[in-house]
Amino acid sequence: MLTIGDKFPAFSLKAVESADLPKDFPVLNQDSFEGKWKVYVFWPKDFTFVCPTEIVAFGELNEDFADRDAVLLGASTDSEFVHVAWRQSRDDLKAVAYPWLADIKKELSAALGILDKEEGVANRATFIVDPDGIIRFVSVNDLSVGRNPKEVIRVLDALQTDELCPCNWQKGEETLKAA
């Protein structure tokens, strides 16, 4: 699995940005949103139980990520058509404003090393990537356990200080000074 300090892999994937079926799906890659921090949120499968709770919770913080000069990107190994159908099937997912990547060939998930060995789908993985494309944070959960999006915001805030941040540090608090 790729980790802190590794370059986020090159990719080119179709994206779904709403519940509307577009004429052409936009294609995003590692250079999309140049100069921005990127937060990649992978989930195992569309039309499941834990995934929508996370997707909606991250979506509720989308403006908070944008305020931090960060772009939120969702991804699973489902196709762009499955992403659209799932968004269309649930009002809470229709309201989600960040793009979902369709890693149907599993190339990005495999390059990141986050494919579940038994299920063959992406684990619940979160990557914070700096504007230079370097992975600065990685978290991977079991398929059955959802994430805490507010913790991802907290870590992003800490990374953006470029300072030493103690346990449970929150934006606006003092950072540590090396002796």
Residue 74 near residue 101 (C-beta atoms within 8 A): yes
Please report the pLDDT score of residue 14 as a whole number. 98
User: What are the pLDDT digits (tens) for 17-75?
Assistant: 999 999 999 999 999 999 999 999 999 999 999 999 999 999 999 999 999 999 999 99
Average pLDDT, the chain: 97
Q: Which of 36, 16, 12, 33 lies closest to 25 in space, CA to CA?
A: 16
Phi and psi of 125, rounded to 5°?
A: -115, 140
Is 51 known to be catalytic? Answer: yes
CB within 8 Å of 173: residues ≥ 6 apart: none
User: What are the pLDDT digits (tens) for 93-139?
Assistant: 999 999 999 999 999 999 999 999 999 999 999 999 999 999 999 99
**Hunting for tokens 């805030």 — which residue is that?**
157
**Hunting for tokens 């196709």 — which residue is that?**
79
Distance CA 25, CA 157 (A): 32
Residue 15 near residue 25 (C-beta atoms within 8 A): yes
Distance CA 86, CA 89 (A): 5
pLDDT greater than 90 at residue 178: no
Beta-bridge partner residues of 56: none
Among candidate residues 19, 50, 51, 129, the one labeled active-site is 51
Residue 81 near residue 161 (C-beta atoms within 8 A): no
CB within 8 Å of 126: residues ≥ 6 apart: 39, 40, 41, 42, 137, 138, 139, 140, 147, 152
Gyration radius of the chain over CA positions: 16
What SS3 state is found at 96? Answer: coil
Please report the pLDDT score of residue 176 as a whole number. 96
